[in-house]
């Protein structure tokens, strides 16, 4: 994980303000470097480029500082990402050097082939990334994000004519800011009097959801081969994201510190990740399960006067402790830490301006309620207890030092986990469900990922999404929709399920995400296999926290006062 900043200006170098500097340092605490470059246009005007990179070192044996500079050509590279594979081959060691070498080779091609070679190199990379590349011989800046948009990169157009590309943006009135689109690679030619934008197409067609229709009735359940395929692809994705994490934490990691933590509501998606991580990591490595709950004055639970009562009655705390108990029973050899992150209302209000600034340009009430939960969860500051249901007086203060966070994001979009998916099926059958799933997956980057990256990376943590692994996504999209879920014509879909899984046999499982539920059932965690879907803002109780606002909707735009 890194922080990227590039300014392009005609009147002299433009450095970021202190708010941006602090945000970049928070994202990348292991190194921070500034590099100034000057280029000339065809009419001999000067353009000043200022590159800044901060680094959170999670690959290789040494910290690789950035920006990377090529003495021979004068080219510059800033990389914020994880190249897990390139051309289908696993990338070992430091991936920023590997990708830099790929791009240097591409820029040495004939000018007529250069754009295609650059696009070819970037298209070959599997993993999340955002990047800025300055090709000095052609005075061209290339920049972009991976197709899913798993890393943040923002464009800021300033009133003075300067332009910046940055992982984070200051919330200023005199700046127009937007997220870099992920449908192409972008370029800026600096040769003429005016900066000339351009685009480079990705060289492979992205996988699309399988919309083939049935000839006849679907099987009662997804097939055993689909369950095995899901488990194998998810294990492979987790191996890449949880193994071989170096310790460059400057002594913060203690002998019992976890390298990996899981954003843990106790729901199906995150619990399946935890169960599979147990099969992958050495038994002596601890795993932190980060469970967040808020004191919400608009909730009846906040009126509970007993110590910790408001938090322990949050839906995600209840399911979190239940799933934690089951995972301890299923995997007793592992040292699991359930980190109960309790956020008082006053503390949430104190951090609210920072959260609004971090998530910008997203600016709705729903954005804030989701971002607030992720922000405090990623901080990892809470209480731990030795047993699943030890609370209050038996708990001890604790801060998770894990620098890698695993998220279950993507499972709902791929496997029909939202209530609107059940509605789509009830109205138009599998065709309507396939259309709704395709829409959800296509917009996951613009709706979630850039915002979440900015909010959680603020704590010097890297968020990783096993369900959005390219191979796992390709497998999941290739499945017919009836293999993913238990929706069937003539079978009623209950509007509400019990908070805790109560299914006594697979036929009783909730039909949403049935393939994931059957995989969890097969792994022996049958109570968790029956857990219902709950949006984080409702499970952690961050929705509608402001007592002074009256009735609000998730789509309401935040006011200037926040």
Catalytic residue numbers read 2
The SS3 of residue 340 is strand
End-to-end CA separation in angstroms for the chain: 29
* Percentage helix, strand, coil for the chain under 3-state DSSP, each rounded to 5: 35, 20, 40
Tokens read off for 101 = 């070498």
Rounded to the nearest 5°, which phi and psi values hold at 72?
A: -65, -40
Q: 475 with 230: CB under 8 angstroms?
A: yes
Rounded CA separation 90/471 (Å): 13
Query: Could you tell me whether strands 462-464 and 175-179 are parallel, antiparallel, or unpaired per DSSP bridges?
Result: unpaired
The SS3 of residue 385 is coil
Rounded CA separation 452/355 (Å): 11
Rounded CA separation 302/557 (Å): 26
Which residue in this structure is represented by tokens 């480029």? Answer: 49
Rounded CA separation 347/362 (Å): 22
Instruction: Count CB-CB contacts under 10 A for residue 439.
Output: 13
Name the DSSP letter for residue 29.
Answer: B
- Residue 32: which of 57, 53, 18 has the closest Cα? 53
- Helices 514-522 and 224-242 pack at an angle, to 10 degrees, of 80
The SS3 of residue 121 is helix
Could you give the strand order of the β-sheet that contains 89-90, starting from the edge strand earlier in sequence? Answer: 89-90, 85-86, 125-126
Rounded CA separation 270/266 (Å): 7
**Which contiguous run of DSSP H or E holds residue 329?**
helix 315-330
Name the DSSP letter for residue 313.
Answer: T
The sign of the torsion formed by the CA atoms of 261, 266, 272, 274 equals positive
Tokens read off for 329 = 């029973």
Could you give the strand order of the β-sheet that contains 2-9, starting from the edge strand earlier in sequence? Answer: 31-40, 46-55, 2-9, 163-166, 154-158, 175-179
Tokens read off for 437 = 């799933």
Rounded CA separation 379/375 (Å): 6
Angle at alpha carbon of residue 379, lines to 334 and 324, rounded to 5°: 30
CA 234 to chain centre: 16
Tokens read off for 262 = 């899981």
Q: 511 with 422: CB under 8 angstroms?
A: yes
Query: Could you tell me whether strands 260-263 and 287-294 are parallel, antiparallel, or unpaired per DSSP bridges?
Result: parallel
């Amino acid at each position: 994980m890194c922080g990227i900043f590039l300014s392009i200006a005609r009147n002299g170098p433009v450095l970021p303000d202190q708010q941006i500097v602090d945000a970049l340092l928070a994202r990348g605490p292991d190194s921070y470097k500034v590099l100034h470059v000057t280029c000339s246009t065809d009419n001999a005007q000067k353009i000043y480029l200022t590159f800044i990179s901060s680094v959170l070192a999670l690959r290789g044996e040494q910290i690789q500082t950035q920006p990377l500079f090529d003495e021979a050509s004068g080219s510059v590279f800033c990389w914020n990402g994880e190249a897990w594979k390139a051309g289908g081959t696993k990338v070992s060691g430091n991936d920023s050097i590997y990708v830099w070498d790929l791009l240097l080779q591409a820029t040495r091609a004939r000018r007529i082939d250069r754009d295609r070679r650059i696009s070819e190199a970037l298209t070959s990379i599997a993993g999340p990334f955002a990047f800025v590349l300055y090709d000095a011989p052609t005075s061209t800046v290339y920049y972009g994000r991976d197709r899913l948009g798993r890393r943040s990169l923002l464009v800021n157009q300033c009133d003075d004519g300067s332009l910046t590309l940055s992982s984070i943006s200051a919330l200023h009135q005199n700046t127009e800011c937007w997220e870099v689109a992920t449908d192409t690679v972008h370029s800026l030619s600096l040769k003429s009097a005016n900066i000339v934008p351009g685009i480079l197409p990705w060289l492979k067609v992205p996988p699309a959801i399988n919309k083939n229709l049935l000839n006849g009735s679907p099987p009662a359940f997804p097939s055993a081969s689909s369950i095995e395929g899901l488990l194998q692809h998810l294990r492979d994705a987790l191996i890449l994201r949880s193994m071989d994490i170096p310790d460059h934490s400057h002594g913060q990691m203690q002998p019992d510190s976890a390298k990996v933590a899981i954003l843990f509501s106790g729901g199906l998606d995150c619990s399946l990740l935890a169960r599979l991580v147990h099969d992958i990591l050495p038994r002596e490595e601890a795993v932190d399960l980060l469970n967040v709950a808020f004191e919400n004055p608009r909730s009846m639970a906040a009126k509970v006067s007993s110590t910790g009562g408001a938090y322990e009655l949050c839906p995600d705390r209840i399911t979190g402790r239940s799933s934690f108990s089951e995972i301890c029973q299923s995997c007793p050899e592992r040292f699991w830490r359930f980190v109960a992150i309790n956020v008082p209302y006053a503390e949430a209000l104190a951090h609210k301006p920072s959260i609004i600034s971090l998530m910008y340009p997203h600016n709705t009430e729903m954005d804030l309620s989701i971002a607030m939960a992720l922000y405090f969860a990623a901080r990892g500051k809470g209480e731990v207890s030795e047993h699943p249901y030890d609370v209050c007086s038996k708990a001890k203060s604790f801060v998770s030092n894990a620098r890698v966070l695993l998220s279950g994001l993507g499972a709902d979009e791929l496997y029909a986990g939202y209530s609107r998916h059940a509605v789509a099926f009830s109205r138009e059958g599998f065709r309507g469900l396939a259309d709704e799933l395709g829409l959800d997956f296509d917009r996951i980057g613009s709706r979630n990922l850039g915002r979440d990256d900015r909010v959680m990376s603020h704590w010097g943590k890297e968020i990783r999404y096993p369900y959005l692994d390219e191979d796992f996504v390709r497998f999941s999209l290739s499945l017919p929709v009836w293999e993913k879920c238990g929706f069937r014509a003539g079978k009623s879909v209950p509007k509400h399920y019990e908070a805790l899984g109560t299914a006594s046999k697979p036929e009783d499982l909730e039909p949403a995400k049935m393939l994931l539920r059957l995989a969890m059932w097969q792994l022996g965690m049958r109570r968790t296999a029956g857990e219902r879907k709950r949006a984080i803002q409702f499970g952690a109780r961050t929705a509608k926290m402001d007592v002074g606002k009256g009735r609000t909707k998730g789509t309401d735009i935040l006011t200037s006062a926040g």
